[in-house]
Chains A and B, each alone.
Chain A
Amino acid sequence: MISRRHFAGLSLAIGIVGGRPAGAQEWRNSPNQLIEQFAQLGIKDILGVAISRREKTDRFRVLFKDFFDIPSIGRFVLGRFARAASAEDNQKFSTLFEDVIVYTWSRRFAEYKGQTLKVKDSTPDGEDGAVVNSDILGNDGQSFAVSWRLRKRETGFRVVDVIIEGVSMAITYRQEYATVIQQSGGMAGLLDQMQKQVDDLKAKVG
């Protein structure tokens, strides 16, 4: 008898062993397939598996770093402030920003109720990018629209922004952080508050 858990472990092993050779990763060069792959791995290895919260968070960080271009998002979010800040502060920001996203997204993993992602179409965007439009479908018949902004990098496409119901994650962070920098003690004030937020979120994830 092969239990479901064995089966999940087996498919994960096949995924890791069989998925690594460069030639087998053609999906990295297709915007639609990249997003489908991200959703599949997310459901298969994180959302739909019975593992601890911390394990889910750790796995998500690996997946997130693999599919998203975090330094690029960080530079966009800081905008003009990145150019004025020291290399050390930029590095600190990048690390904290990654943590903010990893921990805020992880908070909700336990609420997963079998939602699936369906890619609809994609359109060219920017110099060498694309936007993939998708629907997140709940099993209660409710759905909402999520778009993924991608850019071509050396290893294939990477996600640089997620847009939910017209609200861009990158633009929202950019405008929020600009306000924080201007109103509470510049870059040092922002880093300080981000550190506090990360500590709080970390404590909740456990």
Chain B
Amino acid sequence: MLSRFSAPFLRCFVVSGLALGIASCATKPPASDPASLAAFQETNDALEPFNRTMFTLDQALDTVILRPVFWSYREFVPDPARRGVTNFLRNLRSPITVANSLLQGNVTRAGQTVSRFLVNSTVGILGFGDVAADMGTPYQYEDFGQTLATWGVGSGSYLYLPGFGPMSIRDGFGLAFDNFTFDPVAWYNYGANPRWVQWAYFGALYVDLKTSTMSATDELKASSIDYYAALRSAYRQNRFKEIRNGTAAPLPTLPDDGEGDPFADEPSKK
């Protein structure tokens, strides 16, 4: 019954959300104020009023309902077991990385992921152990948002949706695309199989993601006064790194104020 209702409900939710978002766009500064305009473009958050509302909602849900779940999971399930779950989910989702590596023209990475899948599914016992990483092929992740980025598609505005966290319009589309195409659970759903498997899978993914990022986000929250703005900045920088896939930790580009190295000492102090 639920599934029959959920599609129109979801559509209604998305449409009204978008309408709300468009209606509450942030005001773009005039061209006569270049510094503010540059800051507006750097922030790239045309939907900020909508996003902040969703962010507040998400934080409230998180504190009241979900946080105790993540906390108990982290506190009561031993480390190796949680790592096993992470490994299992990563292994299961290998097709997403393989397909997107190929779409990005990276045959080597696709091959590495296939071999990881074969090793971990057998020697690693259904993917619970990451034997391949110990053998020198570490985990890599590619999604359709990254593929679009390498094809030159711009990120579009920043987007914050409850339950999904920070993303951009492009990466949100990428997430949905992967979910309906390369994600094994989509293939499973093509058969007349029970839907609870899908919900268990989404639940596990969500708990795993939140638990693994919890200490980083808690840290950011404690060190910031506008957590929304800090998270937006950190998300974008981390995503930039993922898209560039550097092995040597590619650094974010320093903003240019037109005065050369922004960390150079003031001329008077030299």
Contacts and interface: CB of A to CB of B under 8 A. Distances in A.
A99 B87 CA distance: 40
A171 B255 contact: yes
Contacts of B255: 79, 171, 174
Interface string A70-83: 00110110011000
B22 interface: no
B225 interface: yes
A131 B42 CA distance: 24
B249 interface: yes
Interface residues of A, number: 50
B40 to A, nearest CB: 9
Interface string A178-206: 11101100000010011011000100000
Interface residues of B, number: 39
A65 interface: no
Contact of A168 (B216, B251, B265): B251
A100 B224 CA distance: 9
Interface string B239-263: 0111000001111101101001111
A165 interface: yes
A18 interface: no
B43 interface: yes
Contacts of A167: 234, 237-238, 241, 252
A3 B163 CA distance: 53
Nearest to B220: A172
B264 A127 contact: yes
B233 A140 contact: no
A150 B241 CA distance: 20
A171 B237 contact: yes
Interface of B: 35-36, 39, 42-43, 79, 216, 219-220, 222-226, 229-230, 232-234, 237-238, 240-242, 248-252, 254-255, 257, 260-266
5 contacts: A69-B263, A165-B216, A165-B241, A166-B251, A179-B229
